[in-house]
């Protein structure tokens, strides 16, 4: 008998029939003798609808009140799934995040989990019940409802699995695993049987939408055995996300290709080439709560240089205004913005022991006439910023160049 935490997203809970399908799947696991905790999201689109409704009522909703509003979506689905489970002949108990006491900090609408009181859940499991928990939400030390931000139900599922020391955390999505890249762009993309936490963390941070990045961080930190499966297919092993040490097989050089269209580049031209200038530019950007990704500073000439970095397109206007204020302060010549670029990345732990990966990537892009604007690297990934019109071509040729369509 195993203790399994299953997480179902908004698409999985998107209709009465889909909720019944989830209940039937859970019933099969219970029939096999497993203890099951189920974490659910709000029905697909419900959270966005509630946010829009809140903004119609108040032009700038208080984040604390907004958390109360948007957490109701998950409260509906835990009740509906519990009824469906009872219809399958199972005993079920539902909990909101506050009832479980998923304790978070007080950063409303983007809270982080601090602690979980798992004792009530263990008691219910020992009594033979299926426990259904509302994902995406918690409670701060003052008793106020909080929410975890986009994709937070994944994090709830992994955090519960860690607290309960579950045998496995299963994330059910609309795909049947993690692929070498998006099959909509490369039909030959191959589903991976396994991928390391390091690789999945890079893939998630670089644009892969399969798992929310915080959930992968949590799973890696607490060594939670994590598996991605399809909500709409029965059977199949999905993709197991595991630690590198557990796999004695030789790792492939590259495991996958990620990409992100949501990129924009900002360049501060004619920046004085002196110590501390990077901080003077990026400090105000950080103070404005804007995340910066790729950074490059050109070689200085005549006492000045150009300083470029990327942000998400949603932050472009805000970041531009910040830099216009910085420009006069540091004596820069001008600020230029470009929202026609994207980021393409290759990821693989095999890079550590295989030289020549970067040169192969750059040669492949050069042969297609694709100009590289910016480059960033880590031990297991190389990212390039290119013109967005070349995104799909770049992904296809890199996928072929590294033989990702072939089974390892």
Annotated binding residues, as ranges? 7-10, 47, 74, 173-174, 179, 184, 209-210
Residue 102: name the closest of 153, 169, 167, 45 by CA. 153
Residues at the binding site for ATP are 7-10, 173-174, 179, 184, 209-210
Binding site members for substrate: 47, 74
Degrees to nearest 5, angle at CA 157 with 236 and 91: 85
What's the CA gap between 289 and 56, in Å, rounded? 25
């Amino acid at each position: 008998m195993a203790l399994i935490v299953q997480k179902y997203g908004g698409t999985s809970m998107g209709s009465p029939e889909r909720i019944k399908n989830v209940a039937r799947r859970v019933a099969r696991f219970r029939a096999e003798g497993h203890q099951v905790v189920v974490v659910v999201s709000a029905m697909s689109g419900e959270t966005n609808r509630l946010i829009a409704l809140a903004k119609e009522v108040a032009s700038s909703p208080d984040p604390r009140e907004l958390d109360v509003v948007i957490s109701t979506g998950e409260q509906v689905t835990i009740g509906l799934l519990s009824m469906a489970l009872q219809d399958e002949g199972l005993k079920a108990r539902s909990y909101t995040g506050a009832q479980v006491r998923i304790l978070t900090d007080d950063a409303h609408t983007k809270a982080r989990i601090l602690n979980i009181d798992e004792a009530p859940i263990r008691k219910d499991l020992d009594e033979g019940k299926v426990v259904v928990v509302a994902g995406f939400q918690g409670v701060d030390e003052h008793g106020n409802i909080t929410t975890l931000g986009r994709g937070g139900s994944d994090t709830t599922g992994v955090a519960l699995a860690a607290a309960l020391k579950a045998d496995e955390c299963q994330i059910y999505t609309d795909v049947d695993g993690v692929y070498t890249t998006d099959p909509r762009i490369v039909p030959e993309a191959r589903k991976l049987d396994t991928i390391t936490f390091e690789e999945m963390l890079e893939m998630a941070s670089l644009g892969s939408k399969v798992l929310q990045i915080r959930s992968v961080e949590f799973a890696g930190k607490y060594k939670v055995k994590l598996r991605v499966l399809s909500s709409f297919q029965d059977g199949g092993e999905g993709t197991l996300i595991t630690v590198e040490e557990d796999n004695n097989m030789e790792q492939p050089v590259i495991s996958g290709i990620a990409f992100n269209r949501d990129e924009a580049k900002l360049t501060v031209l004619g920046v004085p080439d002196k110590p501390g200038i990077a901080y003077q530019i990026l400090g105000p950007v950080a103070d404005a709560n804007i995340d910066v990704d790729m950074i490059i500073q050109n070689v200085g000439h005549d006492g000045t240089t150009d300083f470029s970095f990327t942000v998400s397109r949603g932050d472009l206007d805000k970041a531009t205004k910040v830099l216009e204020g910085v420009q006069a302060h540091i004596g820069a010549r001008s600020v230029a913005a470009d929202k026609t670029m994207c980021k393409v990345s290759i990821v693989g732990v095999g890079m550590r022991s295989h030289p020549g990966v970067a040169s192969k990537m750059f040669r492949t892009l050069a042969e297609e006439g694709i100009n590289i604007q910016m480059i960033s690297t880590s031990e297991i990934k190389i990212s390039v910023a290119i013109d967005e019109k070349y995104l799909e071509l770049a992904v296809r040729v890199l996928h072929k160049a590294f033989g990702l369509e072939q089974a390892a």
